[in-house]
């Protein structure tokens, strides 16, 4: 590939091949460890979900049997299918991380492919953690280059850009050279997909699952010598032209003196779409001031939210717990009824519980509100009007869980989806990933 010119595709591939852990500043290393812990919690929290059971059952007749273990479960599948299930499980609760500048959930596609591959091949924890970081940075770099047009067009950006991250991460573990890493990105681009129309259904999590599996396969194709476009990001008919706004320009790639996107990763306090979080916080403020409400005491609830939230999450009749994760009406009703909104508040049973109060919720798009703001008004039958608003302080528009909150979230998720695991030991080992000689030891602690 001597004829390759310096291009966005080559620059990204070269960076993914050459970057070393020693070049990563401590603040980015810490953010990587936090993203890693959050992903393991989400993957284990979703491991026993009925949707995961259905996915595994669907894969079996397709010849997916193999030796790759599934986190938190007893089954074993082939390597690509294991990556698929890991990503599906880690997203099914909608509790995953968020990179606000792109709306990507970075860890899911990348960690799922890394852990699947590392369960079958010797891989130190340090190598896995570096591959995880590089993959997240690659997908965010691609996402930034096509934002905001890409997501606005209706592409599910975690899936369509996550496939690049998964390919780069597994390619790094395979020790691909620059030429083959370019091919891995080319194969990833040809498999990039996922539609926002899928949100609210199991297909949403499958979008992300396909990104993990396809990214792993892209790296395997490249390793085997299957060629791909060497300018897939910037070509006239490439990813940027077809799925962005017509051109593709990378920003400055991270280094010792440059910003790492992982530092901007945030961790959800609620297991639902991030567009619902301002509404949940506004309703929580109302509950803290007035107490929880009974459905028969309420005449009407009015939510004022940002236009994007109204467009994507105005869902008055969610069919089940999964659809409720993108329903402003359910989120408001369940918080007002219960005063909290953990994983058990976005289940099929919770949807039935919220029905009476949810029917009284009106959603209004307010051009004057940012995506981080929401307001709620509750008109009681007895005449009182209760009001609350969430407006973050400057600099706190995208808050995240601190270390204590992240640890508590991890324990709650393990108790929910993998209660057979020793959560304390897992936290200890996950936080010590860099010292592990073989990541398979960590995977083994989760198996049932």
Average pLDDT of the chain to the nearest whole number: 95
Alpha carbons within 13 A on the beta-carbon side of 329: 24
Mean pLDDT of 270-278: 93
CB 117 within 8 A of CB 49: no
Taking every pair of Cα atoms in the chain, the longest distance, rounded to a whole number of angstroms, is 78
| pLDDT per position as a tens digit, 396-435 | 777 789 999 999 999 999 999 999 999 999 999 999 999 9
CB 271 within 8 A of CB 95: yes
From the CB of residue 448, how many other CB atoms can be counted at a distance below 10 Å? 15
Using the predicted structure, report yes or no on whether residue 156 has a pLDDT greater than 90: yes
The CATH homologous superfamily for domain 8-268+401-444 is 2-methylcitrate dehydratase PrpD (1.10.4100.10)
pLDDT of residue 3: 40
pLDDT bucket at 305, cuts 50 / 70 / 90: very high
Mean pLDDT of 283-311: 97
Helix residue spans in 268-327 (DSSP H): 277-290, 307-313, 321-324
**Dist CA 332 CA 305 (whole Å):** 12
pLDDT of residue 405: 94
pLDDT bucket at 334, cuts 50 / 70 / 90: very high
| Segment (H or E) for 441 | helix 440-444
Q: Is 295 helix (H, G, I), strand (E, B) or coil?
A: helix
**Is the omega angle on the peptide bond into residue 187 within 30 degrees of 0, that is, cis?**
no
Using the predicted structure, report yes or no on whether residue 176 has a pLDDT greater than 80: yes
pLDDT bucket at 247, cuts 50 / 70 / 90: confident
pLDDT bucket at 255, cuts 50 / 70 / 90: confident
| Beta pairing class for 361-365 and 298-305 | parallel
Helix residue spans in 321-384 (DSSP H): 321-324, 328-338, 348-358
| Segment (H or E) for 379 | strand 374-380
| pLDDT per position as a tens digit, 31-82 | 999 999 999 999 999 999 999 999 999 999 998 889 999 999 999 999 999 9
pLDDT of residue 406: 96
What are the extents of the domains in the chain? 8-268+401-444, 274-390
Sign of CA dihedral 30, 28, 268, 156: negative
Q: 383 exposed, middle or buried (CB, 10 Å; 0-12, 13-18, 19+)?
A: exposed
| pLDDT per position as a tens digit, 10-21 | 999 999 999 999
Question: Is the overall model pTM greater than 0.85, yes or no?
Answer: yes
**Dist CA 272 CA 341 (whole Å):** 9
Pick 395 or 189 by higher pLDDT: 189
Identical topology for domains 8-268+401-444 and 274-390 = no
- The fold for domain 274-390 equals 60s Ribosomal Protein L30; Chain: A; (3.30.1330)
Pick 6 or 99 by higher pLDDT: 99
pLDDT of residue 4: 44
**Dist CA 286 CA 289 (whole Å):** 5
Mean pLDDT of 251-272: 91
| pLDDT per position as a tens digit, 113-123 | 999 999 999 99
pLDDT bucket at 231, cuts 50 / 70 / 90: very high
pLDDT of residue 358: 97
pLDDT over 90, % of the chain: 91
């Amino acid at each position: 590939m001597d004829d390759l010119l310096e291009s966005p595709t080559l620059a990204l591939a070269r960076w993914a091949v050459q970057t070393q852990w020693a070049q990563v500043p401590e603040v980015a290393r810490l953010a990587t460890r936090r993203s890693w812990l959050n992903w393991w919690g989400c993957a284990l929290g979703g491991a026993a979900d009925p949707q995961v059971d259905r996915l595994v059952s669907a894969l079996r007749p397709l010849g997916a049997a193999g030796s790759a273990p599934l986190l938190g479960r007893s089954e074993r599948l082939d390597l690509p299918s294991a990556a698929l299930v890991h990503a599906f499980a880690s997203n099914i609760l909608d509790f995953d991380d968020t990179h606000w500048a792109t709306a990507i959930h970075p860890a899911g596609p990348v960690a799922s492919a890394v852990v699947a591959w590392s369960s079958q091949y010797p891989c130190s924890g340090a190598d896995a953690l570096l591959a995880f970081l590089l993959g997240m940075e690659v997908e965010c770099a691609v996402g930034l280059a096509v934002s905001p047009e890409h997501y606005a067009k209706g592409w599910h950006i975690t899936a369509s850009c996550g496939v690049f991250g998964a390919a780069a991460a597994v390619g790094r573990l395979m020790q691909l050279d620059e030429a083959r890493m370019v091919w891995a990105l080319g194969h990833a681009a040809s498999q990039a997909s996922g539609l926002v129309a899928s949100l609210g259904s199991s297909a949403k999590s499958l979008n992300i699952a396909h990104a993990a599996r396809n990214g792993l396969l892209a790296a395997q194709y490249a390793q085997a010598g299957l060629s791909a476009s060497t300018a897939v990001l910037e070509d006239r008919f490439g990813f940027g032209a077809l799925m962005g706004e017509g051109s593709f320009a990378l920003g400055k790639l991270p280094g010792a003196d440059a910003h790492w996107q992982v530092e901007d990763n945030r961790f959800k306090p609620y297991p639902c779409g991030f567009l619902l979080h301002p509404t949940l916080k506004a309703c929580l403020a109302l509950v803290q001031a007035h107490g929880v409400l009974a459905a028969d005491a309420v005449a009407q609830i009015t939510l004022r939210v940002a236009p994007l939230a109204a467009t994507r999450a105005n869902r008055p009749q969610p069919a089940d717990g999964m659809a409720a994760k993108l329903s402003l009406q359910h989120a408001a009703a369940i918080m007002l009824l219960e005063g909290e909104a953990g994983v058990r508040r976005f289940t099929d049973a919770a949807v039935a519980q919220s029905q009476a109060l949810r029917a009284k919720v009106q959603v209004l798009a307010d051009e004057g509100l940012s995506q981080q703001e929401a307001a709620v008004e509750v008109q009681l039958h007895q005449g009182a009007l209760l009001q609350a608003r969430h407006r973050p302080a400057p600099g706190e528009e995208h808050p995240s869980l601190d270390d204590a909150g992240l640890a508590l979230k991890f324990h709650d998720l393990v108790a929910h989806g993998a209660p057979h695991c020793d959560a304390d030991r897992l936290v200890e080992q996950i936080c010590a990933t860099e010292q592990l000689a073989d990541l398979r030891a960590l995977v083994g602690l989760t198996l049932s």
